[in-house]
Structure 1
């Protein structure tokens, strides 16, 4: 009861105009779909036409570039580890599904993975650390397809089909923000699906075995899970809905308290379909920002209540891993914005503050 009262007090104190999105200049006009924040100064974003952008000064300046040979690709996911090291995942059928890596700040890129499985369509990737990660595809012929790396992406190996339950007919993933897959700790991972059923697959042993759970998120054409975040190995949130109805909140959120075994819908939810959610590091309690094409919201009470942050549409959102870090969001026409004027759980340091150690 005391924690609930404290959370409500903070919520009410933040419901004024103390927070807003401040747009930054990305130097690109393409649709941006992925964002990865390393610390309060360093973040990478990705998008259409082989585009990436990177900042090393908190967003005061962004550098835009194109991966050579990838000009026709749509980079829906980016996972960054420093101002020099980042991974990009492009979506599409056949060999359009690829993973690239840079270790020199985007000056050069190495093509690490090209899909060769007929019918595969990769949706997203997630990394436990710089060397260990997963990427998942839509099911192929009734089987889930997940590839793993343990050497920093130098090789990607398909996990055995026997490790997964069978896929349902018409079940597929969504690549809206590259965050329908997430990891936690050294061995936990989850990825969400939609279409026939809004299910979450879960591993606790680094991908050796997987279980599956149903969620109350929207199903059918355009419906399902679009983004996942866990703030502990037991507690997590899935967001989505139906991207064909961006202002419809039906089936757009579910919460788990048991590591993804069971999911339930909270009483209060964001105002529409949501394609991305992030947990804010360093807040006194579970604090989240969620975004979609019809607007964005903040929660400071573990997803039980949501404060509108405005109607501006975004596709993806990320908070830096460092405590006290920034929250960035990206969207159409090169839009990049950071959440500013914070007074409370997570006050941003100035853009020229020294780098904090990454956890």
Structure 2
């Protein structure tokens, strides 16, 4: 074989390898045009998504998605979903008063049970999360000056209102953003966090007792407007976590869009997330220490070194939420029924 031919083959092999190891999103066909903001990834084959107009979707083969109708729920905006397996999931509606509600299925979406409705007319639920199949938490905008938090220890059958008016006290104009289901997150056996915006400053609240008591810390992410602040929070191993956000009306504004914590959320330092601009979700990759993925209307990126450096996945695909399973499989969702699967370089 000639030297030129050998070089050509080597180049082709290298190019092919680069193409398959580059981080990228692969669009999957979905029979929906709804805005999707809820996502729960169970395994390499099972994931659930939810969104506007009562939309719930599920894949059980990792490739094809099926819509699962929720009776009489077309008017509700399901902005968060928590799935436990291929058959069991809880969806949360976000909206004023009774529009904030939860349903559960135990038979893969064939039937749905209404679990709870927000009794506060001025309430607005923003996100929910579960430590395990029994213990969960839902969080909402302030009611009578304090953020609304409810917890369950029986899988969502019953919910108890948390009474911590001092720890949950809100600033004037402070609220949360129901943009991705990740303005609230949990980890370990009882740790929980939520982040806010809209007020003079953005803040991160943390709890170490399954949401029963809270402490707040200021975030360096700019706020001071109804569209600005922290939109998402996620923690991995060793107390390392990130908050991301920005201004959802200025999606490419090149200002600080993140904050990092190395002590479980007690303190926060500025962290520029790439790509620059508005980011609506940040999540750890389970089992991959110091690896996080962030997405938003500015694009998507990841870090594998705890935020020392960020790699841009792409800027073209606008996304609302992202999630990964313990196997390393990942999906993201966005506007107009967009669902994409992570392909390329393994993040675990």
Asked if TM exceeds 0.5, the reply is yes
Q: Deviations over 1:74-105 (max 9, x none)?
A: 11101111000111111110100011111111
Please point out which of 296, 299, 303 is paired with 1:299: 303
| CA deviation after TM superposition for structure 1 residue 282, in Å | 3.5
| CA deviation after TM superposition for structure 1 residue 15, in Å | 11
Please point out which of 261, 278, 281 is paired with 2:283: 278
User: Aligned pair count?
Assistant: 329
Secondary structure (helix, strand or coil) at the match of 1:332 reads: coil
Aligned partners of 1:253 and 1:269 also within 8 Å: no
Q: Greater relative contact order (Cα 8 A, min sep 6): structure 1 or 2?
A: 1
Q: Deviations over 1:102-141 (max 9, x none)?
A: 1111111111110111211110001111111110110112
Asked whether 1:47 is paired with 2:51, we answer yes
Map 1:324-339; keep pairs closer than 5 Å: 324-339=327-342
Secondary structure (helix, strand or coil) at the match of 1:46 reads: strand
- The 2-side partners of 1:15 and 1:264 are apart by 35
- The 2-side partners of 1:328 and 1:67 are apart by 23
Aligned partners of 1:282 and 1:345 also within 8 Å: no
- The 1-side partners of 2:198 and 2:281 are apart by 18
| CA deviation after TM superposition for structure 1 residue 268, in Å | 5.7
- The 1-side partners of 2:18 and 2:162 are apart by 45
Aligned partners of 2:122 and 2:143 also within 8 Å: yes
| CA deviation after TM superposition for structure 1 residue 207, in Å | 2.1
- The 2-side partners of 1:118 and 1:268 are apart by 37
| CA deviation after TM superposition for structure 1 residue 16, in Å | 9.5
Q: Deviations over 1:9-36 (max 9, x none)?
A: xxxx999961211000122121111111
- The 1-side partners of 2:281 and 2:18 are apart by 21
Asked whether 1:261 is paired with 2:296, we answer no
Asked whether 1:188 is paired with 2:188, we answer no
RMSD: 1.8
- The 2-side partners of 1:109 and 1:71 are apart by 14
- The 1-side partners of 2:279 and 2:113 are apart by 32
CA pair 14-235 structure 1, distance change in 2 beyond 3 A: farther
Asked whether 1:245 is paired with 2:250, we answer yes
- The 2-side partners of 1:184 and 1:233 are apart by 11
- The 2-side partners of 1:88 and 1:201 are apart by 23
Give the equivalent residue in structure 1 for 2:210. Answer: 206
Q: TM-score, normalised by structure 1?
A: 0.88
Give the equivalent residue in structure 1 for 2:117. Answer: 114
CA pair 14-266 structure 1, distance change in 2 beyond 3 A: farther
CA pair 267-71 structure 1, distance change in 2 beyond 3 A: closer
Q: Deviations over 1:138-184 (max 9, x none)?
A: 01121121011111100111111346242111110110001100111
Map 1:344-355; keep pairs closer than 5 Å: 344-346=346-348
Give the equivalent residue in structure 2 for 1:350. Answer: none
Question: Of the two, which has the highest radius of gyration?
Answer: 2
Asked whether 1:128 is paired with 2:115, we answer no
- The 2-side partners of 1:212 and 1:233 are apart by 20
- The 1-side partners of 2:228 and 2:35 are apart by 22
Please point out which of 99, 103, 115 is paired with 2:102: 99
Unmatched runs of 5 consecutive residues or more in structure 1: 1-12, 347-359
Asked whether 1:146 is paired with 2:157, we answer no
Secondary structure (helix, strand or coil) at the match of 1:33 reads: strand
| CA deviation after TM superposition for structure 1 residue 226, in Å | 0.9
Map 1:59-98; keep pairs closer than 5 Å: 60-98=63-101
CA pair 14-254 structure 1, distance change in 2 beyond 3 A: farther
- The 1-side partners of 2:188 and 2:18 are apart by 31
- The 2-side partners of 1:15 and 1:205 are apart by 46
- The 2-side partners of 1:268 and 1:136 are apart by 25
Aligned partners of 2:135 and 2:154 also within 8 Å: yes
